[in-house]
Chains A and B, each alone.
Chain A
Amino acid sequence: MNIKEYISSGVVESYVLGLLTAQERFEFEQYCEAYPELKAARNAFELAIEKQAMENAVPPPASIKEKVLSAIQQKPASNTSKIINMEPTTRRSSGSRWIAAASIILFLVAGYFAYTYYNQTKELKNSNSELEAKVNRTDSILNKMLEEQKIMSDPNVAVVNLTGTTPAKATANIYWDSTSADVYLVVKNMPQLPSDKQYQLWSIINGPGGQLQPSSMGLFDIGDNKKVMLKMGNVKKADAFAITIENRGNTGGPNLEQLQSMGKTRLQ
């Protein structure tokens, strides 16, 4: 800022004479702290004004001094009420009418807002609980997916592709955790079965004499479980996995004529 220009702009005189806005006044006071020459200019003009005023002083009526001195001995409140009394009474009554009208309007407005806010709050509460339920559902799905993701990306989990052995081309993937021996199944393409039938997963070990040794990993249905990872049985050693169609609740061995799909593990 060019302080010389600022000083000669008339701002000093405007400040002293009380003609600045609050903002300009604040600014001027800030600059006064920073620029001694601004403060000096202010002081010079103040002295000039004071001198001018003192030279042109006209004594007030002598009675005023007495009134002032007696007024300052009184409590501030009594003086204030005296000033108010100087206002014409009509103004006060019209003023109180306005205040009454204003307070009624204020009351109505406040009531309207209270009602609106009450309704809004009710609506908000409802939509809030809806949202909460939705979030809970989403959360459980997400957790399941995360779990699956974890299994799929685990380096200790081997993937075995089961490919269809019939025209139905039933395919599935096995995720086999080599450390925990857990087996997970993801169905890719398997037709629905009649209600008395179930699919059954088998782990198969190549026996010593070429004898296949199947053991059940569990029965499962296709239905809503499509695309979802199913946790099946638990096996440490398997040369292959196979899926057959069995009677619902089968407890016997595999019906190999109904073999649907099969895949060899890479562990052999």
Chain B
Amino acid sequence: MSRFWGCFFCLSFDQLLEPKPTYSEQELVVLLNEQDNDAFNYLYDHYSGALFTIINQIVPDKDTASDVLQEVFVNIWRKIDTYDETKGRLFTWMLNIARNAAIDKIRSKGYRDNQRNQPIAEGESGGMAMSSNPSVNDVGLKKVLTTLNEEYRKLIDLSYFQGFTHEEIAKMMGIPLGTVKTRIRTAISQLRTMIR
């Protein structure tokens, strides 16, 4: 195990731009598949912040977001054998687990009932439900979002941060399904150029 740590440090100094070198990620996956506790500890320390940010952008309430994060890491631990490295990076896989869990949470009846009992209502700006938390609103993807025009921003918000399907968005906004698809693709292409 100490060999693994040493290996990680020397590589992370060499490649500061990449948070984790590729083969280290592979090694991490192998160890997680062997249910290695040290590897999982490392995984948590390394990625919990990034995943928490994305969850908190979807689930504004910090305590609920923490619950979701806990659930997400337990799921990562249990489902690591379903991760297929040919389909994408480990982080992408974890990011999608986190996003799906967060969206499931805001859609659950329990969460919505709870929200209704909160004294402070969310922003009324047409379904932008999560824009009430200033601490995470302007970081990461959300920050990049603000540079998009209003319509594109709304489309990404509805599809990515609120998890609505293209069909649902088309109905909601009263525009044809094909248009929703092309506009989301265009908006997302713009995101790419901004992220770099």
A56-B139, A79-B74 known; A50+B89 contact, CB < 8 A: yes
A1 close to B (CB within 8 Å): no
A53-B140, A76-B78 known; A10+B184 contact, CB < 8 A: yes
Interface size range of chain A in the complex: 35 or more
Interface size range of chain B in the complex: 35 or more
A34 close to B (CB within 8 Å): no
Binary contact track A35-71/B, C-beta < 8 Å → 1, others 0: 0000000110111111111111111110111011101
Interface stretch among B2-10, B105-113, B124-132? B105-113
The 6 closest A-B pairs by CB, nearest first: A57-B49, A10-B185, A56-B140, A53-B50, A56-B139, A60-B52
For the complex, give the distance between the alpha carbons of A57 and B19 in Å: 12
A142 close to B (CB within 8 Å): no
B53 touches A56 (CB 8 A): yes
Spell out A's residues near B (CB within 8 Å).
8-19, 21, 29, 32, 42-43, 45-61, 63-65, 67-69, 71-72, 76, 79, 83, 86-88, 91
Would you mind naming 25 contact pairs between A and B with Cβ atoms under 8 Å apart? Answer: A10-B186, A10-B187, A11-B185, A13-B192, A16-B88, A17-B99, A18-B100, A43-B89, A47-B18, A49-B141, A51-B18, A52-B195, A53-B50, A55-B140, A57-B52, A59-B52, A60-B48, A60-B49, A60-B66, A64-B70, A72-B40, A72-B73, A72-B77, A87-B109, A88-B113
Residues from 21 to 57 in B contacting A, C-beta threshold 8 Å: 40-41, 44-45, 48-54, 56
Residues from 141 to 176 in B contacting A, C-beta threshold 8 Å: 141, 143-144, 159-160, 166
